[in-house]
Amino acid sequence: MKVCILGVGSFGTALAAALAPLHKNVVVWDANVSILESLAAHRENKRYHPGIVLPPNIQPAFTPQEAVEDARLVLFAVPSNAMRKVALQVAGCLPAHVPIIAAAKGIEEGTLMTMTQVLESCLPEPFHPYIVVLSGPSFAREILLGHPTVMTAAARWDTVARKCQQAFASRVFRVDVSSDIVGVQIGAALKNVVAIAAGMAEGLGLGHNARAAIMTAGLAEVALLGVRMGGNPITLYGMSGMGDLVLTCTGVLSRNRSTGFALGQGRKLPEILAELGQVAEGVSAAHSAHVLSTRRNIRMPVCHQVYQVLYEGKPPEQAIADWMAQPPPEF
């Protein structure tokens, strides 16, 4: 069947490669036309994955409307800050009764909506039961290399989540199924904030003890907020919570860990993000976590210190010291 991926950045390219052996046509679109031209001419995404030749059945479309036409699965892999714009572009031409998958890990700034909520606000109501969130510990590079990967698909309807599961099922890619749409997305978005904190500790040379403590405390904070927002705590200690957090806090391919590491070494955020060349979702998620926790009167010390470093210019070494000096939150 034809499947469609909107957004061919690092992660979208990897998901296209995972789907290519399983489906006849994998049609991809991106707002960056040079990526599509590179794919058409060289079978490569030269910006994000130079040197990796992609399967021939991954074909570019030069408008999002063309990409979604007659697709049996539509996957949004655009950054969280572009989700609304792209959803509105295709809202009038999406095929009916097919899984609509949100693969971005973030919370929309301003509205504080999760990605599935953004899609629901943009798409007609009959499409809402078909919206799925796909998340879990998954570095794009390792998916492209064919390394084993396990993710979670959560949807309102179990049959829709299972269609997503079946679409990706292979010897190296497994998708678990959940009904906890909220928990999966809170874990996906806020683990990036914890990864920045873990990276700062590492950049400061504070050792493995500090990183383990930050990861554990951060996961508890994310779980607490997730439960307050209607999520299941078990979800936050599964693949899309703890699994994703461990990967993002420790893996050398993690953009958010790398951002924190550079901050810990004394570099400034604008310089770090310019050099990164990709989105570090934890930067915007730190602001969202700050607002969400304030509104719900939840103490989230790890996330709060990251917010102060990113948005108030607090030195990372002072942030870690202040976090250590605080009493632990009560759960």
Instruction: Note whether 329 and 221 are within 8 A (CB).
Output: yes
Strands of the chain (E only): list them: 2-6, 25-29, 58-60, 74-76, 100-102, 131-135, 149-155, 173-178
- Catalytic site residue from 2, 163, 191, 314: 191
314 classed as catalytic: no
CA distance 56 to 126: 34
Tokens of 47: 């910006």
Residue found by looking up tokens 């989105």 in the block? 279
Sign of CA dihedral 230, 307, 79, 134: negative
Please say whether the dihedral angle defined by the alpha carbons of residues 53, 54, 57 and 59, taken in this order, is positive or negative.
negative
Orientation angle between helical segments 316-325 and 255-264, nearest 10 degrees: 100
Tokens of 245: 């957090």
Three-state SS at 94 = coil
Structural element, H or E, at residue 67: helix 64-68
Tokens of 62: 């030069």
Alpha-carbon distance 58 to 44, whole Å? 10
In terms of Cα–Cα distance, which of 136, 149, 272, 271 is closest to 199? 272
3-state DSSP of 126-173: HHHHHEEEEECCCCHHHHHCCCCEEEEEEECCHHHHHHHHHHHCCCCE
What residues are annotated to the active site? 191
